[in-house]
Amino acid sequence: MYAVTDPATAEVVETYPTATDSQVVAAVDTAHTAAVWGRSSTVAERAALLRRLGDLHAEHQDELAASIVREMGKPLAEAEGEVGFCTEIYHYYADHAEEFLADEPLDVTSGAGSAVIRRSPVGVLLGIMPWNFPAYQVARFAAPNLAIGNTIVLKHAPQCPATAALLEKLFAEAGFPTGAYVNVYATNEQVADVIADPRVQGVSLTGSERAGSAVAEIAGRHLKKVVLELGGSDPFVVLSTDDLDAVVDSAVAARLDNTGQACNAAKRFVVVESLYEEFVDKFGARLLAGETGAPLSSVAAAENLARQVDAAVAEGATLHSTGRREGAHFPAGVLTGLTTEDTAARQELFGPVAMVFKAADEDDAVRIANDTPYGLGSYVFTTDPAQAARVADRIEAGMVFVNGVGAEGAELPFGGIKRSGFGRELGRPGIEEFVNKKLIRTVA
């Protein structure tokens, strides 16, 4: 089940044994035992470990990046950037943990005395991670929760076992005690048992809608909190510009991030009528020219995208592309002629294919942008500051980026609404998800 398969050749180059039931139980046992460390250590001590972990990511950047490329085909420069972002995340929480977890005094108006909110760990958490950002997804879950003092059982994607093992090694080298971070090569059935374990206090999953729904159902049955970061079909709304070439460059970057395999990548491009034709011409040419040559994560991923594109064309869309699929390699393309009624318009296309929609005006652009089951991120380009503020307020999404792409940061919360999930990671909100906000009221 856990295997490193070269996406470019479909060759299985390394396999890892799936955990036995006893090994999965032992992983939870170890994490539960380490919860004593989480409750007894100081925030400063845990912050120091996070800083060292960030340093180790920088020191092992080449090794981590090579592992990511080998497992899921990411362009090397992007893999190196992913590892660098991990360093920023671990250092961010090292810098701010004491501030975020400090006692919060409350104004008492119900009588004499004082009151504070004290933030403390809840215990063992289960993390279920995807393949598309093998190191970054772990960092944004692990960093805030280890800062709190929670301990982690981590189930990585089956196609990323080598990166999973390397990350566990770095946590240990950083000085985290045994059990603070435990990697386990579990099956879906074993994961269900871990969620049901009364010692496990919460679950964070980044992945598909289907996986999120299944995990949320099990967690709800056992009264466990979940954070879900699922799919997205983010709109890229172009309303006005005095430099269309720059907007097109941003659009290409937003679509080709991770070869188009990012939940918050721009996927639906909504352009006002006055700019539509010129945008389509320039965007199509630059998107095709901007291909990285990297494969998608697997042959299966490419086959699924091909089915979606073929279905869109069958419904009346026009595909602008000059390449053809070979194994996991999928050519960049632009779909035009779509309406919000088409099936593809309501799906997530995971790969270097963009959908472009013509909007009559601002209201129509907002309508098209919001006519989706997803609500993760979004992008708005306009030269009118008042319009930018107005449209950003009307967009139904967890994140809106105005006149820029690639503007994520460790300090900025990440998450969505609707079928894109719920809860937030990163920033201060990311440390508030799995924490006991204990009231301590002193009357006299």
36 in the same domain as 73: yes
- 217 part of a folded domain: yes
15-46 b/e (C-beta count within 10 Å ≥ 16 → b): eeebbeeeebeebbebbbebbebbeebebeeb
288 in the same domain as 426: no
Q: In this structure, are strands 333-336 and 353-359 parallel, antiparallel, or unpaired?
A: parallel
Q: Catalytic residue, from 168, 263, 348, 425: name it.
A: 263
Nearest of 130, 134, 270 to residue 209 by alpha carbon: 130
Known catalytic membership, residue 263: yes
178 in the same domain as 54: yes
291 in the same domain as 262: yes
253 in the same domain as 149: no
432 in the same domain as 347: no
pLDDT the model gives residue 121: 98
pLDDT the model gives residue 291: 82
Nearest of 358, 297, 361 to residue 329 by alpha carbon: 297
- 334 part of a folded domain: yes
pLDDT tens sequence across 127-182:
999 999 999 999 999 999 999 999 999 999 999 999 999 999 999 999 999 999 99
Looking at the structure of the chain, the number of domains it has is 2
- 412 part of a folded domain: no
Task: Provide the CATH number for the domain around residue 310.
Answer: 3.40.309.10
- Per the structure, the complete domain to which residue 138 belongs is given by 2-231+418-442
Nearest of 429, 375, 374, 424 to residue 397 by alpha carbon: 375
Residues of the chain with pLDDT under 50: none
Would you say the pTM of this structure is higher than 0.75?
yes
Composition of the chain by helix, strand, coil, percent to 5 = 45, 20, 35
**Could you give the CA distance from residue 148 to residue 202 in angstroms, rounded to a whole number?**
14
- Return the number of other C-beta atoms located less than 10 Å from residue 103's C-beta: 11
pLDDT the model gives residue 35: 98
222 in the same domain as 247: no
- 429 part of a folded domain: yes
- 320 part of a folded domain: yes
173 in the same domain as 54: yes
- 39 part of a folded domain: yes
147 in the same domain as 238: no
- 413 part of a folded domain: no
Query: Is residue 330 classed as helix, strand or coil in its secondary structure?
Result: coil
81 in the same domain as 137: yes
288-315 b/e (C-beta count within 10 Å ≥ 16 → b): beebbebbbbbbebbeebeebbeebeee
199 in the same domain as 129: yes
pLDDT the model gives residue 327: 93
- 409 part of a folded domain: no
Task: Provide the CATH number for the domain around residue 115.
Answer: 3.40.605.10
Q: Catalytic residue, from 80, 82, 168, 229: name it.
A: 229
Quick check: 347 and 304 in contact, CB under 8 A? no
Known catalytic membership, residue 86: no
**Could you give the CA distance from residue 65 to residue 81 in angstroms, rounded to a whole number?**
9
255 in the same domain as 209: no
pLDDT the model gives residue 170: 98
